[in-house]
Chains A and B, each alone.
Chain A
Amino acid sequence: MSNVIKKFFIASMVMWIAPVAVLYGFNNHLFPGTSQLSSSSKTLLSGFLAVISVNLVIVLYIIMAMKEPTNREHQPDPAFLAQAKSSINQPASVTTSDNAQTHKKTE
């Protein structure tokens, strides 16, 4: 269960940090070649790249979540299971002989 929470937490953090980092990079000229763009195309490019980065994180999280194996139900110990099965079949003779003796006593 904690593995699930860890993956979810990391995905959420990256989902916040990635688009804000993209916008910060565009506005403060951290990416090469962004200085000579006009203001409107800078807005368009930074906005669309940020939205694409969010969707990329979502797709990666969906892939990670679908790949997880479904938790199998708790399997009983096979040795114990075999012993229990044999004990059902075996002492039918033992219990009937006991009953016969108790019947005699009560009569």
Chain B
Amino acid sequence: MSSSWSRALTQISPYTFASIGIAISIGVSVLGAAWGIYITGSSLIGAAIKAPRITSKNLISVIFCEAVAIYGVIVAIILQTKLESVPASKIFDPESLRAGYAIFGSGIIVGFANLVCGLCVGIIGSSCALSDAQNSTLFVKILVIEIFGSALGLFGVIVGIIMSSQATWPAKS
């Protein structure tokens, strides 16, 4: 058994990759959502001192950020239903490795897409609150930009779900 990097990489259990993928999908998504919410929330509370009427409409930005966290939870639940036990003889089969890598990839896709989406929506939401406090006709126009921003997270979730749907482990026979 010669030792080499390629051997080391292929001898890592696919369950490692799958579990790390699930962790990244929920962990990094929540990171993005929290980042967005605190950016938006602090601007919103500050701007509402002089213009208290903005709070009811600008909570929409916070809802968009929270949706990003929920996408991460949805994909994490889906991915963990895809984890199946295989007998020890089959754990390094190509089919098995493929399933582990697919779950890993799906988790990374969703996690990082939601990270930047949450950040984007957070910064837009903060400017939205500040400009709505000055001039309430601007709100709907900035909301359109925010909808485009939240579509980024949606793209990541769609690709992540499609990728994880074909993660099949070798049959137990």
* Per-position 1/0 for A18-57, Cβ under 8 A of B: 0110010001000000000001110110111011001100
Check B59–A41 contact: CB distance below 8 A: no
Cross-chain contact A15 with B70 (CB below 8 angstroms): yes
Of the candidate stretches B6-14, B24-32, B157-165, the one touching chain A is B157-165
Q: Kindly specify which of A59-67, A82-90, A95-103 makes contact with the partner chain.
A: A59-67
Please, which residues of chain B bring their CB within 8 A of the CB of A44?
Answer: 161-162, 165
Q: Which residues of A contact B63 (CB under 8 A)?
A: 8, 11-12, 15, 58, 61
Q: Is the CB of B55 within 8 A of A4?
A: yes
Least distance between A84 CB and chain B CB atoms (Å): 27
Q: What's the interface size class on B, roughly?
A: 20 to 34
B70:A43 contact, CB within 8 angstroms: no
Count A-B pairs with CB separation below 8 Å: 83
User: Quick check: A12 and B74 within 8 Å, CB to CB?
Assistant: no
Q: Given the known A-B contacts A39-B168, A40-B166, A47-B75, are A8 and B59 also in contact in the complex, defined by CB atoms under 8 Å?
A: yes
How would you classify the secondary structure of chain A's contact residues: helix, strand, loop or mixed?
helix
Q: How many residues in A have their beta carbons less than 8 Å from beta carbons of B? A: 31
For residue A75, CB closer than 8 A to chain B, the reply is: no
Given the known interface contacts A51-B154, A65-B57, A65-B59, the answer about A23 and B71 at a Cβ–Cβ threshold of 8 Å is no
Complex contacts, B136 vs chain A, CB 8 Å = 70
On whether the beta carbons of B78 and A43 are closer than 8 Å, the reply is: yes
Inter-subunit contact A19/B70 (CB<8 Å): yes
In the complex, chain B residues whose CB is within 8 Å of the CB of A12: 63, 66
Q: How far is the CB of A79 from chain B (nearest CB, A)?
A: 27
Indicate if B67 sits at the interface (CB-CB under 8 A): yes
* Chain B residues within an 8 Å CB radius of A107: none
Where the two chains meet, the residues of A that have a C-beta atom closer than 8 Å to any C-beta of B are 1, 4, 8, 11-12, 15-16, 19-20, 23, 27, 39-41, 43-44, 46-48, 50-51, 54-55, 58, 61-62, 65-66, 68, 70-71
Given contacts A19-B70, A19-B73, A61-B63, 7 further A-B contacts (CB under 8 A): A4-B59, A39-B168, A43-B164, A47-B75, A51-B158, A55-B67, A55-B154
Report, nearest first, the 8 A-B pairs whose CB atoms are least far apart: A47-B161, A43-B165, A40-B165, A4-B56, A44-B165, A50-B74, A71-B53, A8-B59
Residue contacts A-B, CB under 8 angstroms, 19 given: A4-B55, A12-B66, A15-B70, A16-B70, A19-B70, A39-B168, A43-B165, A44-B161, A47-B78, A47-B164, A51-B74, A54-B67, A54-B70, A54-B71, A58-B63, A58-B67, A62-B143, A68-B57, A70-B136
